Amino acid sequence: MLHIKCPYCGMRSQNEFAYGGDANVKRPELNKEVTDKEWDTFVYFRKSPRGKHLELWHHISGCRQWFKVQRDTLTHEIYKTAEIKEDI
Amino acid sequence: MKTISPLKNILKKGLFGDHEGKNEVKLIEIKEISKLLIVQIAQYKNSSFQIENLNIDGLNLPNDALKVISNSDSRILWCGPKNWLLVSKKKDLLQILNKSFNETDFAVTDLSHSRAIIEIEGENSIEILKKGCPFNFNELKKDNCVNSVFNGLAITIDIINDNPYKIRLFTLRSFGESFYHSVSDACLEDGFKVV
């Protein structure tokens, strides 16, 4: 089981969180012309790195906030967590 | 609107579990708490209103994680950034809240009918919670609260007292029966009384 440090509540068990996907994905800008390929890439294509990965997590059974987690996909070590507006 | 207790037909008064030969005073006590006003207060993200200026029944909104501010009638629990739960015996407080909170800055929602509340009291109360909840309870003291899970059910834990422990547990009304059975199962080993 992972222990994840919520930036708002502190260290909590993984049971209280929901995984929210890759935090590097950027939605195409509003009102910008988007090709089918760009949209397809945004919606479906994800990298699956072996090592450090920036992820979104949701503290669904706690403060209900979204935040960023930098996690090693190989060892599950969590290097850093940050509020959604912060950079890692 | 009349409040209907969510656990009225579920809790049976009496002694249960391994209580024989034990001092009844030292047994864990379980009871349902009803007829409380429960209000969720959420400040909008783009609101710049200073919460220090607010006063509810003589209480300010707590800004620190896990913190509860209380007086003899009301308790305000920190539930997340810009999110609080007000629990009060004063039913008329809702009208005062609706007047004092600006609609453009806050969402005030009456949850009184949608929560089941169980209060457990006794020295071993924390050990009962540890059986179903992954939170590190060594960090929790009097007037602390935490949102977590108990056997998969989302709950809010409010530590009213820590010597001896008196803990109020909130869950969704529809989870109430299942939650009560989870808590009472955890208490069987020590023996418990329902009052």
Domains annotated on chain B, with CATH: 14-35+114-194 (3.30.1360.120), 37-112 (3.30.70.1520)
Nearest to A8 among B65, B134, B149 (CB): B65
Amino acid B125 reads S
A8 near B CB under 8 A: yes
Q: Do B81 and A10 touch (CB under 8 A)?
A: no
**What average pLDDT does range B32-45 have in this prediction?**
95
On chain A, the residues whose CB falls within 8 A of the CB of B146 are 9, 62
Chain B residues with CB within 8 Å of chain A CB: 65-66, 79-81, 83, 134-136, 139, 146-149, 154
For the domain bounded by A3-83, which CATH number is listed?
Answer: 3.30.2270.10
For residue B1, the model assigns a pLDDT of: 65
Q: How many CA atoms lie within 13 A of B159 on its CB side?
A: 21
Q: At A42, which helix (H) or strand (E)?
A: helix A36-44
- The percentage of residues in chain A with a pLDDT greater than 70, rounded to a whole number, is 100
pTM of the model: 0.92
- pLDDT tens for each residue of B68-92: 999 999 999 999 999 999 999 999 9
On chain B, the residues whose CB falls within 8 A of the CB of A8 are 65, 80-81
Percent of chain B as helix, strand, coil, to the nearest 5: 20, 40, 40
